[in-house]
Amino acid sequence: MHISEGVLSPAILIGGTVLTTAGVAIGLKKLDQDEIPLIGILSAAFFVASLIHVPVGPASVHLVLNGLLGLILGWKAFPAILVGLALQALLFQYGGITTLGVNTLNMALPAVICYYIFRQGLGKNAKRSVFALSAFFVGFLAVFFSGILVGFSLYFTGEAFLPAAKIVVLAHVPVMLIEGILTSACALFLRKVRPELLEGIYV
């Protein structure tokens, strides 16, 4: 879902940077020092998952794990995803520095939205089936919403990008299913062995 440099209009780039700055500020405000190692691990997982990617027009298709980050971190997914994307841009030229704000917003905002939508179904007393299904939709819809935001970013830059925007969204349908299954499996595993990692959902 990385959008390459030289594609988006200045207005989209500036808007994405401003909104990402606000999201990162909120995430850092909610961050406790003892959570830094956890955020580092999740940021690294996000970094590694995105390394295997397939170029699709001006963007790319790959595993994202933003739903899992949102499920565990909430608003703190913003700084975690920002760090992962910055390292990818600097080390491997995925995305770019000028598109860092837009790319972060496109991946982190859906993570936070899904966190708030499904946190009730992920409660301590939720049935296993409800918990698993809620976690699945966190992973599935986080990627879906990210695809939609990438599509809008391209479309609002110019209507000529509309076909590419549609391809980006459709190309991520298999990724949505994989992410949903993976997020559900990881959430169930954490609920069993490390439930304290999910405490942010219950606050």
Each residue's pLDDT tens digit, 99-134: 999 999 999 999 999 989 988 888 788 899 999 999
Neighbours of 20 (CB within 10 A): 25
Query: What is the chain's mean pLDDT, rounded?
Result: 85
Percent of the chain with pLDDT over 90: 40
Predicted confidence band of residue 57 (pLDDT cuts 50, 70, 90): low
Q: What angle do CA 31, 192, 110 make, to 5 degrees?
A: 45
| Backbone torsions φ then ψ of 126, nearest 5 degrees | -70, 140
Plot region of 41 (φ>0 → left; ψ -120 to 50 → alpha; else → beta): alpha
With beta carbons less than 8 A apart as the criterion, state whether 145 and 101 touch.
no
pLDDT of the residue at 193: 87
Does residue 74 register a pLDDT over 80?
A: yes
pLDDT of the residue at 198: 79
pTM confidence score: 0.86
With beta carbons less than 8 A apart as the criterion, state whether 182 and 66 touch.
no
Exposed/middle/buried for residue 199 (C-beta within 10 Å: 0-12, 13-18, 19+): exposed
Of 19-33, 58-72, 181-195, minimum mean pLDDT range: 58-72
pLDDT of the residue at 60: 57
Question: CA end-to-end span of the chain, whole Å?
Answer: 31
pLDDT of the residue at 172: 76
CA distances from 100 to 48, 128, 177 (A): 17, 37, 26
What structural domains does the chain harbor? 10-202 (1.10.1760.20)
Cα–Cα dist 188/40, whole Å: 21
Does residue 17 register a pLDDT over 90?
A: yes
Question: Which tokens belong to 152?
Answer: 């809008």
